[in-house]
Structure formats: structure tokens, C-alpha cells
Amino acid sequence: MYYPLNLNGVNIYPLFGDFLKGAPYIFDFSSNNPKTLEYTLFDFEQFNTMIFDELEASNHQWGIGKYLEERKTLLRAYPNIIEEKRYYHLGLDIITPFNTPMFSPLDAEVYKTGKETTVGNYGGYIILKHDINGVVFYSFYGHLKTPHVVSTGEIIKVGQKFAHIGEESDSGGWFCHVHLQILTQAAIDAGYMDWGYISPELLPKVETYFPSPYFLFKF
């Protein structure tokens, strides 16, 4: 799944600048991994420590959680997600320490900033609006430190610092990372702006609303 179709001549800046070293550790947050049942979902310090202990033991500096990964056991504490069967992860999780700065991968308009205060949600988030060769799309960044360093309506340039990794309430109670997700205009129009997971029934529509974010993530 590749989006947008034409990237000729487009400069995509590394989201974390030159901070990330080497290859990532690939976390397994799927229901196939029994370790997901051990995570203390409502104790940020312990949850975060478990994730970063696993990362350190892997001898990697940073990690990722995969796009479209099935995460039923990881989401077991959230009844609305379970009831709606929205188990499939719509973003790419990049796992780095608290306060790591992020830089805009493309020229953008800050479409929206905010903070969700309920545990298990995004915490601080920023949505950037992009136009590449006439194709408008949005990049979503969740679990960010607040107060935000950019404002809604602001125009930012490729490579400009716009956010930092959050923790505790700023990360929605999740371990320190950023959730990077792509939204099409169709997703915005359909009211899916804050959806981080999708049900099996909507998977056939994933390219229409939530294309793969991998093209936008450089390191």
C-alpha cells in the first residue's frame, strides 16, 4: 500500500532528524505474543519500563510497532474497542525516549492540535496537512508532549521542529512513542480523524481512508 502515487522530486525529511541510529527493534504487540498480557496498561511507569527494558535487551536504540498489526490482547482493557472489534493498528509506532524532538517530513499546514485526556487515548496530538503534486493528505502524530510548540493554522517548512515525544498524561498513559498515521481527505470527511484502530469489516477500505505510513517515515 503506497500513497501518494507520485513522489518525484519530493524531499522527505527524517522525522527524528539524525537521532535514530541503526536499524529498529521490531516489537510484537500482536495477540500471538503472550507478553502483551503482562503489560500493566494503567501504570505508566511500569508499562514504559517494560517496553524500554525489552528495547535495551535487544541492543537496539529505538523500536517500531507495525502498521495493520492485530492487537486484541493489548487493547483488552478498552471495552469500546473490543465491542467494535477495532483490533487492527492504523499507524506506525516509533518508540523513542520522552522529549525526543520531531521534525516535519514535508512542508505542511498545522491542521489541528489538541490533547485527549482519557487514559488509553492519544494524549497530545498534532495533525499536519500536506499537498504533494495536487494530492492532499494528512499526517497524524499522537502521544506528544504538551503544550504544543506549533499552533493550528501555522505554516511549517520541511525539517522544522514541531513536536516532542510525550509521557504519562501526554502519551495517553501509553509508553513513550509517537503514533504516525496517514489520513486521506475521505477519512477526514467521513469523521475518522481520531481512529487509531480499525475492524476487520473496514479493512477493505484501508487504502481509501488510512494508507500505509511507511513512505513518510525516513531515518
- How far apart CA 96 and CA 63 sit, in angstroms, is 7
Average pLDDT of span 167-181 = 97
pLDDT band at 5 (very low <50, low <70, confident <90, very high): low
- pLDDT at residue number 163: 99
pLDDT tens digits for 158-172?
Answer: 999 999 999 999 999
Q: Is the pLDDT of residue 143 over 70?
A: yes
- pLDDT at residue number 4: 65
Max CA distance (Å), the chain: 46
pLDDT averaged over the chain?
A: 95
Q: How far apart are the first and last CA of the chain?
A: 20
Q: Is the pLDDT of residue 17 over 90?
A: yes
Q: Is the pLDDT of residue 1 over 70?
A: no
| CA 90 from centre of chain | 8
- How far apart CA 118 and CA 120 sit, in angstroms, is 6
Task: Name the CA radius of gyration of the chain, rounded.
Answer: 16
pLDDT band at 151 (very low <50, low <70, confident <90, very high): very high
- How far apart CA 37 and CA 178 sit, in angstroms, is 22
Average pLDDT of span 55-69 = 98
Domains by residue range for the chain, with CATH: 25-216 (2.70.70.10)
Q: CA nearest 139: which of 169, 184, 100? A: 184
- pLDDT at residue number 192: 95
Is 0.75 surpassed by the pTM of this model? yes
- pLDDT at residue number 3: 65
- pLDDT at residue number 211: 96
Average pLDDT of span 174-191 = 97
Average pLDDT of span 38-42 = 92
